[in-house]
Amino acid sequence: MKAMNRKIGVGVLWNLTGLLVSRGASTLFMLFLARILAPEAFGLVAMVTVVFELANAFVSSGLGAALIRSKNVSDVDLSTVFYMNLVLSLLAYLLIYFGAPYISVFYSQSELTPLVRVMGLVVFINATKIVQVAILSRNMNFKHQMKANTLGVIVSGCLALVAAWIGWGVWSLVVQMLGSALISAIVLWFASAWRPSLQVSGESFWRLFRFGKNLLAEGLLDVIYQNSFVLVIGRFFSAEITGLYFIAKKISNLLSQQLTGAVQQATYPALSTLQDDNAALLLKYRKIMQLMMFVIAPVMGLMAGVSPVLFAVFFDDRWGGAVPYLQLLCIVGALYPLHALNMNLLNVKGRSDLIFKVGLVKKSVNISMLVAAVPYGVFGIVCSQVLGSCLALIPNTYYSSRLVGYSPLNQFRDAVKPLASSVLAGGGAWYLANTGLMPDVPMLIVALLMGGAIYVVVSVLFRVEGGVMVCNKVSGNFRWDGR
């Protein structure tokens, strides 16, 4: 168990390092590009993002996750998945190429046709690295993945800035997307010694696909659902408003989804080895949940509180309309660990069938609410997204209770204290940020410091479990629980 804890700890550390470096750099590049480009450019890219995410989910087919979870993997298995990914990527690109004119007609944006055809090349590039990522993940080697992602973000961001500066407009975002995928793929191939052999097995494919097929179906559903808001906003509203929503969503996802994803990626291979020990799984997942809520909830609370002054500091007046969207989406971000970790638990237990069924139910409900919210404008659409996130907790927590005994009530107890502390911290930061006592930059810093201090004090008073774990890890002498 100690060896596993160490593996998980090292994996999380490398993933978090990669997250801080690559996402930090990505955020900086996005801010610089937003200073040069108009919201319409981001809106056009947002409109077609769903196409490439669908293609990537189709090409992966859940086979990468199946490779990671399998107890034993042969070279024939790896080569079979590699060649299958290439074939599927070719089919996906042909669909994208010939479907591009219809996408332009759907959005009434003629410039989307060449944009989609060039951006579609990213599907080929991503297909070449699925097996390499699976091999490195099985070996808990997140260091090389971090290097690949970070180098890709930095080099592609620099290229995009140059392109934007010389007037390439929306094409600079295309340069960034393709550059990041290509560079990370090259680095991963240098980092892994595995090379495909000329062996393909139908038995290998069907064995891995039996697990991956439900993940494929759930992945396609999830991509459609996650992008349905941009798709509907892009269809019924302008490219400018689509760009405002896209940026707000990107910022809110930046920490909640990326941080949770980093922990999931690091813990999944190790926790898969405990798939037959329900007591050990419950203990591990409960600690991970408490820790993630302790970290992510205050980030979302503070971001919602300071968002007006945050946009005043980092963006110009064209982006002010994104503030209320970001404040609402921070609620969705704060709840994200609850959703993601419950789904990850089903993955570890090998119940991809339940992942698909749960996803089908909750996404059907949420998309119905999205359609009903269209007459109420983009603000109503975002409110429906918040409501849908709250309702989705019901099916997401139900099966965790059935499989390992992590009941919805216990999950509520693990989440409510950091959430309540974050509301108080965000409220304090919001009050100070709106007093106008000082210029924007020092006001942002002071509001964040005050909100952070409120969170720490309230967490100590509430004895938030995630905070206790952090403090006990940092110093064995300091214990919030008084023991």
Question: Residue 118: is its pLDDT beyond 60?
Answer: yes
* b/e 456-483 (16+ beta carbons within 10 angstroms → b): eebbeebebbbbbebbeeeeeeeebeee
Residue-level pLDDT at 10: 62
Mean pLDDT, rounded, for 170-185: 89
CA distance 154 to 180: 8
Mean pLDDT, rounded, for 294-316: 89
Question: Residue 455: is its pLDDT beyond 90?
Answer: yes
Contacts 24+ apart (CB under 8 A), 430-439: 430/304, 430/305, 430/306, 433/305, 433/306, 433/308, 433/309, 434/308
Ranking 95-104, 190-199, 238-247, 339-348 by mean pLDDT, the lowest is 339-348
Identify each DSSP E strand in 321-378 by its residue range. none
Question: Residue 423: is its pLDDT beyond 90?
Answer: yes
Check residues 220 and 166 and name the one with the higher pLDDT: 166
CA distance 457 to 464: 11
**What average pLDDT is seen over the chain?**
82
Question: Residue 370: is its pLDDT beyond 90?
Answer: no
Instruction: Single out the residue of 93, 92, 90, 63 nearest to residue 78, CA to CA.
Output: 63
Mean pLDDT, rounded, for 125-149: 82
Residue-level pLDDT at 481: 47
Residue-level pLDDT at 277: 76
Contact 260, 65 (CB under 8 A): no
Question: Residue 477: is its pLDDT beyond 70?
Answer: no
Mean pLDDT, rounded, for 180-209: 86
Residue-level pLDDT at 70: 74
Residue-level pLDDT at 298: 92
Ranking 170-174, 223-227, 380-384, 425-429 by mean pLDDT, the lowest is 223-227
